[in-house]
Amino acid sequence: MQTGLIPSQDKLVLHACSRSPELATNPDNKLIRVEPIIEHVRNISRELFQPYEKIAVDERIVKSKHKWSGIRQFMKDKPVKFRIKLWVLADTITGYTCDFYVYLGKNRIQITNLSKGLAYSVVMNLMPSYCNQGYRLFTDSFYTTLNLINDLLDQKVYTIGAVRGNSTAKPGVFKKNDGWEKFAGRGDFRRHRENRFLTVQWKDCKVVTIVSPIHTGSKVSGCTRTLQARTGWKNRL
């Protein structure tokens, strides 16, 4: 035997196959061969850990080199160009993944609710196990819509999220072109309460808008940031 033909280490390949008749009738389901494994991991993740009060929904990127699954994305401007995207519900203190979905594309009906949008469907599919328990859910501007925050509040989930300029969650008084965003100085803020939600805007490098059902607009707090000075990095309020 020629030793040069022997690999220097064990190389193991996991081949996933399915005997389900759905493979022939629904070839568009790109996850059918690994769905039992994915569902097992999701169930175990929910059972093994009870998250703290604050949880968050966001996307997570998994680097991938495979070619033919139909779920890999190519993003030329991102550090990880070839990737699989997951929708993730995570605990904000430990970073533990409580639940997740594999993103299959906007047109896959597995997670898309056409009446309320993709972002709404993603969050509502991740949240059933954590409704009616008083959790605080943090979201970025992609997910924060009026339909979402109202429906979650009805189920005792308090959503605190960033809001886009054209979002339905942004109150009408903040959508008016009154010149505030243009002339406000850094650190200036304003607030408005409408129905069950408080909306706060403040001027940082740009205008940031946050909506919350549990906060008040009367408290002002400061934070420190690290800025580069001529003599090095310094913390400033």
Q: What is the pLDDT of residues 150-191, one digit of tens each?
A: 999 999 999 999 999 888 888 888 888 778 888 888 888 888
Q: Residues 29-51: pLDDT tens digits?
A: 777 777 888 899 999 999 999 99
State the CB neighbour count (10 A cutoff) for residue 186. 8
Q: What percent of the chain has pLDDT over 70?
A: 78
Please give the Cα distance from 163 to 195 (Å, whole number).
17
Tell me, yes or no, whether 4 lies in a domain.
Answer: no
Q: How far apart are CA 116 and CA 14, in angstroms?
A: 38
> Per the domain annotation, does 187 fall within a domain?
yes
In a domain, 232, yes or no: no
In a domain, 172, yes or no: yes
Contact 34, 41 (CB under 8 A): no
The residue ranking higher by pLDDT, 142 or 114, is 142
Number of domains in the chain: 2
Q: How confident is the model at residue 1 (pLDDT cuts 50, 70, 90)?
A: very low
Question: Containing domain of residue 159, as a range?
Answer: 133-218
Answer yes or no: is 6 within a domain: no
The reported pLDDT for the residue numbered 227 is 74
CA distances from 169 to 128, 161, 172, 179, 190 (A): 22, 10, 9, 20, 16
Query: Are 38 and 77 members of one domain?
Result: yes
**Nearest Cα to Cα of residue 200 among 162, 236, 233:** 162
Beta-carbon neighbour count of residue 130 at 10 Å? 21
26 or 42: which carries more pLDDT confidence? Answer: 42
Say if residues 211 and 201 touch (Cβ distance below 8 Å): no
Question: Is 106 in the same domain as 138?
Answer: no
Assess whether 214 and 147 both reside in one domain.
yes
Domain boundary among 40, 75, 110: 110
Structural domain contains residue 19: no
In a domain? residue 12: no
Phi, psi of 57 (to 5 degrees): -110, 135
Is 208 part of a structural domain of the chain?
yes
Domain shared by 101 and 137, yes or no:
no
What is the model's pLDDT at position 127?
94
- Identify whether residues 99 and 144 lie together within a single domain: no
Quote the tokens at residue 100. 């997740």
pLDDT tens digits, one per residue of 107-132: 554 555 667 888 898 999 999 999 99
pLDDT score at 10: 63
